[in-house]
Structure formats: structure tokens, C-alpha cells
Amino acid sequence: MSPTPTRSRPASNVRPSADLPDATLVGWLRMMTLIREFENRSAQAYQQAKIGGFCHLYTGQEAVAVGTLGALEPDDPVVHAYRDHGHALARGMDPKHCMAEMFGKITGCAKGKGGSMHMFDKPHWFFGGHGIVGAQTPLGVGLAFAAKYELEVLGTALSNPGVDPGAPAKKKVALAFLGDGALNQGALHEAMNLAGLWSLPCIFIVENNGYSMGTSIHRGTTMADDLLKKADAYGIRGEVIDGLDILRLYDAFKPLADWCRAEQKPAFVDLKTYRYLGHSMSDPQKYRTKDEVDRYKSMDSIERLAKHLMEERRCLTPAALDEMHAELHRIVMEALEFAESSPSPDPATELYSDVLVNPMPGMSPIREYVHGEKNPLL
């Protein structure tokens, strides 16, 4: 029998998180709490009909975005699906731009055009939330391809925000986040095959919250208890990682990400997490029990990290935590106020802008298109 080197290995005793300074861990707690507060206020704003379209909240899964992105370099490219507010914030997007985008206001990260599912922040190497399940994963492969091409063919970095012209290329990894529902989409399997075939540094992170909309993973995919077999099929190394404890998550993910970067190879992560709220804001949640939700809430990742910082690291006092909560509350309320008071896009200038560049006179259908105001995040 041939060995299967792609399988997950037993957890080692290496604890990279133990070497991180207190400030980093407090920063994680702060970001996770910011996301939680941001999502709570988003839910309210949605119920008040201030946010249009759809709204998929990240509550419960915060450790995943913060822990994985915390293990990356700031210029590693990232793509995600539509539950994307947390990732945008964790990547560094200003909560004001994020909230204003959901409100459809001109001050949003995409000038109120993309909405909740389509957060973009190129300066922070966040290449978008995406509304089609699984369809973002080949884009992650392309971003990884470009990174490897820079490194091995061009030698210099491609022109991008914050990149000095002619800067030497460096070893990068691309992150393609997906939900467990995307496991059953064809695009993912094409993407994993290409990443495996071409040995591209793309990490497929399955945020496995157990449900694809209202269908539990056992009703939706084969080998639901051993998803790494799917990665095995494409020769991609896989790991199962606990997403409810950010320290364990980081300790498992950081070495994997470092390995992908060093070896320039793909990886697949079955990242076990749980969402506290419905799939979207309109979800009767008949597919699970309140007991189940409560059981996961009792293992809340934010409370767990706060307890660790106060009782084990002893780098956070209850008073400092209260102060942090008050500050984050203020930041989110300011974001709401900013979104609320920002103007809507002017149809005269924005309706037909940014469809194509180079508007040409006398030609249909782009005759009336104009090039929009410069995007604040361009």
C-alpha cells in the first residue's frame, strides 16, 4: 500500500501562539469582539430595513477569520464567499466603509454597489466576497498562480497597491475561503485539481459550520466526517483544525501556512466552526435545535480567549476588557452613524459608471457610461 503523506498528522507539541506577544493576542480579542459587535448592529440595521439585499452574519465563527488571517502576511491575497464582513474587517477594512457598503452608500468600500456579499479591499489584498457558492475558489487558484508566476518567472512583483515598482517577488500564499456547502460545487473540484496539478500555494479553508444553508453536512456531502479524503483525491495536504479555540487554531494553521509558503504547495483545511445565527437574516432554522446552538455558545471562542488572557496570561484586567467593549461599541456606532449620514450614490454619475473603461462616443451600449469617481479604496 502506498503511503498517504497528505493526511493530517497528529497534533505536535509546537505552540507558536505561546511565543506571540500579549499585544497580538489582545489584538485578536479586540478584532473578534469588533466583528461580533459589528454583526449584532448589522442585524439590527437589517431589521430596520436600512441594509438592503441579503445579509449573512459571521457571529460565532470570528476565530476563523482572525486566527487564519493572523497567520498570514498582510499582502497575501485572500478571496472569500459571501459571509464576508468578518474577513474584510480582520483584513483591515475600516468598519465605516464596510457598514456604508451594506447601507448602499457612496462611502462604502465599493461605493455602495457591491453590498453585504461583495466586500472588496485591494490595498489590504482582499479580493472580494463572492455571491456564487464555490465559484470564488478558482479565483484563489489564479491569485496563487500569479504569486508563483511573480516568483518563478517575472522575479519582480506585479503592479499592485502598495507595491514599489520593480520590487522583488516574494513567496506568498493565497487563501480561498469557502463554506462546507461549497464542497459539493464543481468549481471547487476543478480548482483543487488545478492547484494540486500545478503545485500552487493556495490554501482552501473550509469554514465547516455544519450546514449548507439549511442542510446539514451529513445530508449534503460524502465522507462528511473525513473531508480530507476529498483533498487526498487531488494530492493536496489536509488538516482538520478546531475553529472554536483561536489559540489551537493558530497553532495548527500557522505551521501549515508556513509550509505552503516555503514549499509553494497547496493545502486544504477542514476548519470546524459554528454559526450562531441563521444562514441569512431570513432563516427559520428548522434544521437544528436550540440545544445544539446553546451547546456551541457555551464554548464561545471570544469568551474563551478573554478568559485565557485574564486568567492564564494575566495580561488583561476585567476593567480593560470593559474599556475595550465600550471602545468597540463606540466604533461600531460611529460606523452606523457614518453609513446612515452618508449620501446615496448619485444616479447621474454612478448608475453607468465603472462598467468598462474608455467610454467611446457614438457606441452602444457603453455610450452613456462614464468613469466613476475614484474608489476610496483603490
Partner 1 sequence: MPRSEMMIEKGLTLVDAINEALYQEMERDDRVVILGEDVGLNGGVFRVTDGLQKRFGPDRVVDTPLAESGIMGTAIGLAMAGMRPVPEIQFEGFLGPAFDQLVNHAARYRTRSRGAITVPMTVRVPVGGGIHAPELHSDSPEAIYAHQPGLKVVMPSTPYDAKGLLTSAIRDPDPVIFFEPKRVYRSFREHIPEEEYTIPIGQAKVVSEGSDITMISWGATVFQCLEALDQLPEDVSVELIDLRTIDPIDEDAICQSAEKTGRVVIVHEAPKTCGLGAELATIIQERCFLHLEAPVQRVCGFDTVMPYYKLELEYLPDAARIVEALQQVAAY
Per-residue contact flags (x/-) with partner 1 for residues 302 to 341, judged by CB under 8 A: ----------------------------------------
Q: Is 172 helix (H, G, I), strand (E, B) or coil?
A: coil
Q: Closer to partner 1 at the Cβ: 167 or 224?
A: 167
The minimum distance between CB 97 and partner 1, in angstroms, equals: 11
Q: Is 261 helix (H, G, I), strand (E, B) or coil?
A: helix
> Which amino acid, one-letter code, is at 256?
L
What CA–CA distance (Å, rounded) separates 200 from 263? Answer: 9
Q: Which of 85, 96, 97, 118 binds partner 1 (CB under 8 A)?
A: 118
CA distances from 310 to 20, 27, 32, 128 (A): 16, 14, 16, 35
CB-based burial of residue 155 (10 Å sphere; 0-12 exposed, 13-18 middle, 19+ buried)?
exposed
Give the three cell numbers for residue 88: 474584510
Using rule CB under 8 A, residue 113 touches partner 1:
yes
Cβ–Cβ < 8 Å for 53, 149? no
> Which amino acid, one-letter code, is at 15?
R
Using rule CB under 8 A, residue 355 touches partner 1:
yes
Residue list 282-301, contact with partner 1 (CB under 8 A): none
Residue list 50-89, contact with partner 1 (CB under 8 A): 77, 79
Q: Closer to partner 1 at the Cβ: 108 or 210?
A: 108
Find out whether the peptide bond into 365 is cis, omega within 30 degrees of 0: yes
Q: Closer to partner 1 at the Cβ: 14 or 158?
A: 158
Q: Are strands 215-216 and 211-212 parallel, antiparallel or unpaired?
A: antiparallel
Q: Closer to partner 1 at the Cβ: 135 or 277?
A: 135
Cross-strand pairs, 205: 177, 269
Using rule CB under 8 A, residue 99 touches partner 1:
no
The minimum distance between CB 188 and partner 1, in angstroms, equals: 9
Q: Which of 11, 14, 23, 154 binds partner 1 (CB under 8 A)?
A: 154
Q: Closer to partner 1 at the Cβ: 63 or 182?
A: 182
Give the three cell numbers for residue 164: 514599489
Q: Closer to partner 1 at the Cβ: 216 or 375?
A: 375
**Chain-centre distance for alpha carbon 178:** 9
Give the three cell numbers for residue 223: 465522507
Cross-strand pairs, 267: 203, 237
Q: Which of 10, 166, 186, 343 binds partner 1 (CB under 8 A)?
A: 186
Using rule CB under 8 A, residue 1 touches partner 1:
no
Residues that bind partner 1 (rule: CB under 8 A) add up to a total of 63
- Number of residues that make up the chain: 378
Select the span of 109-117, 223-231, 242-250, 294-302 touching partner 1 (CB under 8 A): 109-117
Give the three cell numbers for residue 89: 474587517
Select the span of 44-52, 67-75, 83-91, 352-360 touching partner 1 (CB under 8 A): 352-360
Q: Closer to partner 1 at the Cβ: 21 or 365?
A: 365
Select the span of 43-51, 213-221, 330-338, 354-362 touching partner 1 (CB under 8 A): 354-362
Select the span of 38-46, 260-268, 272-280, 347-355 touching partner 1 (CB under 8 A): 347-355
Using rule CB under 8 A, residue 145 touches partner 1:
yes
CB-based burial of residue 21 (10 Å sphere; 0-12 exposed, 13-18 middle, 19+ buried)?
exposed
Residue list 228-287, contact with partner 1 (CB under 8 A): none
The minimum distance between CB 144 and partner 1, in angstroms, equals: 8
**Chain-centre distance for alpha carbon 143:** 15
Q: Is 240 helix (H, G, I), strand (E, B) or coil?
A: strand
**Chain-centre distance for alpha carbon 311:** 30
What CA–CA distance (Å, rounded) separates 127 from 138? Answer: 13
Binding site for partner 1 (CB under 8 A): 77, 79, 110-111, 113-114, 118, 120-122, 127-128, 130-132, 135, 137-147, 149, 152-154, 158-160, 174, 186-187, 190-191, 193-194, 197-198, 353-358, 360-367, 371-372, 374-375, 377-378
